[in-house]
Structure 1
Amino acid sequence: MKIVVTNDDGPHTPVLEPLVKALEERGHAVVVVVPERQRSATGLARTYHKPLRARKVGGYYLVNGFPTDAVFLALNLIAPDAELVVSGVNIGENIGFESTYGSGTVAAAIQAGVLGRAGLAVSMEPGADLGKALSLLSAFVEALDGYRRDGLLAVSVNVPEGWSGKLASPRSLAVGLYAERLYKFVDPRGEEFYWRWGPRREEFPRDTDAYAFYAERAATAVGICADGVCQVEDLVRRTAEVMNGGR
């Protein structure tokens, strides 16, 4: 399969090279098209107010825009014959409504779906085992080969630290994952500035991605469909079969 690999962290993230190697070792042709610098938490932002540029540096294509721009250039110019876009691996989970839809990693996969290709976003909690995350990612790639579901734009996968080995397809995204507040400070010039921050909540409804991820330590797979969040239980089963050597 021909795969575009992208991310929202740019070319210097330490997980990019291992990801490319893992996919190539499984026989896939990989083209890397990433933002030229860190673009985390940019969601579906895109560039209309200035020219887009793509330059090849050390085998990677670097784009002067957002993750969605990288995918748009990849599928319209650089690798129009690609069948799948893999976004990540992001260091930092994208759990809950705000993180899912605010994530540049997930947005890149959604952009692929909008353009008619399969999109897979993979994120991992800090401290999670990268080798296990890459094995799971590779299994999802194989499970997506030939997988068709009307309305499915992208799949967002999250791998927790201390992964239990369980795979879950939650029914919904947690809302209000963090108990955030606005902190006010004064800089040396006497001007006020603000910082948004707060701890993660400890309890979540059982049918949410946050409960499966934080309480059950399950790897979660959430479908992003044209009409909202959708379960992908059949894809999760296919992936589990791949990991168990059944396909």
Structure 2
Amino acid sequence: MNKPLIFITNDDGIHAPGLRALIGVMKQLGDVLVVAPDKPMSGMGHAVTITSPLRVNKLKEEPGHIEYSCNGTPADCVKLGQKAILGRNPDLIVSGINHGSNSSVNVIYSGTMAAVLEGAMENIPSIGFSLNDYSFHADFSKCEPYILSIAGNVLEKGLPEYTCLNVNIPAVNGSPIKGIKIVRQAMAFWDEKFEHRKDPHERDYFWLTGVFRNRDEGLDTDEWALKNNYVSVVPVHFDLTSHKTIPLLRDWETGNLN
């Protein structure tokens, strides 16, 4: 029987340990095609390249495993990989393993999740994986059984159309992971500030800093799951409509005002 074809990308770059870990796990489930940025692209969100050429460089080719680096963003990698390199839909798109959490509002800024949202827009089952540890040398070994379980379920059962998964794994540092929770995105935000600094030539510049604040006390959120040593799984789609607000604004509707 033909193996599933799994498309892999990330936003930390082609050489990131998290990507290497994800490739190793996915090779247990199918053949892999990797198209990942040639440099870190964290925080790029859903940016795409439209003012300069995209280039790819084949780094590896062996049975069941092909790798390319790309000078574009994570979303570029998915678009280019699907439409130019592969020429067909893969059976699954996975992105990560991200070095750091993409829970709550971080999903908006995440290049990791932009890649899987791009897959969802093409109605391809897609999953973003993140480990709540920002270290380049983070231990990804405890992620493997949970990634295998979640990806295996998606390959077997699929996902609702135009839906992807945002999976965040706690860095428990000696404490056991308790399991997997299907949850919602927490209403949490960054309280941001810009530090005003001077460079060695006495020119002004600004450095973004901030504190992450969780104002959501729900027991069904990704933040609660991570805090309590659970892997959080949030179903995500790209429809940003506030559906519950539409009926509240109906009386604003009008005919021609000219």
What is the TM-score of this pair, normalised by structure 1? 0.83
Q: Secondary structure at the match of 2:20?
A: helix
| Structure 2 residue 146 is matched with structure 1 residue 136 | yes
1:92 aligns with 2:100: yes
Whether the aligned pair in 2 keeps the contact of 1:212 and 1:218 (CA below 8 Å) is yes
SS at match of 1:9: coil
Other-structure match for 1:188:
200
**In 1, Cα distance between equivalents of 2:231 and 2:240:** 20
Percent identical = 28
Which amino acid letter does the alignment assign opposite residue 21 of structure 1? G
Which residues in structure 2 correspond to 1:29-44 (within 5 Å)? 29-44=31-46
Q: Does 1:220 pair with 2:232?
A: yes
Equivalent residue for 1:235? Answer: none
- Rg (Cα) greater in structure: 2
Deviations, residues 125-155 of structure 1 (Å, cap 9, x unaligned): 1176412212211111110024344444310
Q: 1:76, CA displacement in angstroms?
A: 0.9
> Is contact 2:95–2:127 with CA below 8 Å preserved after alignment?
yes
Q: Equivalent of 2:13, from 1, 10, 19?
A: 10
Aligned equivalent of 1:165: 178
- For structure 1, the residue ranges without an aligned partner over 5 or more in a row are 230-247
CA distance in 1, matches of 2:34, 2:159: 26
Aligned to 2:24: 21
- The ranges of structure 1 where at least 4 consecutive aligned residues each deviate by more than 6 angstroms after the TM superposition are none
- After TM superposition, the structure 1 stretch with the greater mean CA deviation from structure 2, 39-48 or 164-173, is 164-173
SS in structure 2 opposite 1:15? helix
Matches within 5 A, 1:22-171: 22-24=25-27, 26-59=28-61, 60-79=67-86, 80-97=88-105, 99-126=106-133, 129-162=139-172, 164-171=177-184
Separation in 1 of the partners of 2:8 and 2:180?
23
Give the corresponding residue for 1:209: 222
Count of matched residue pairs: 225
Instruction: Provide closer, same or farther for how the CA distance between residues 228 and 133 of structure 1 changes in structure 2, counting only shifts above 3 A.
Output: farther
Q: Distance in 2 between matches of 1:39 and 1:5?
A: 15
Whole-angstrom distance in 2 between the partners of 1:62 and 1:141: 23
Query: 1:62 is aligned with what amino acid?
Result: S
- State the Cα distance separating 1:159 from its structure 2 match: 0.3
Equivalent AA in structure 2 for residue 32 of structure 1: V
In structure 2, runs of 5+ residues without a counterpart are 62-66, 242-258
Partners of 1:169 and 1:64 in 2: how far apart?
A: 35
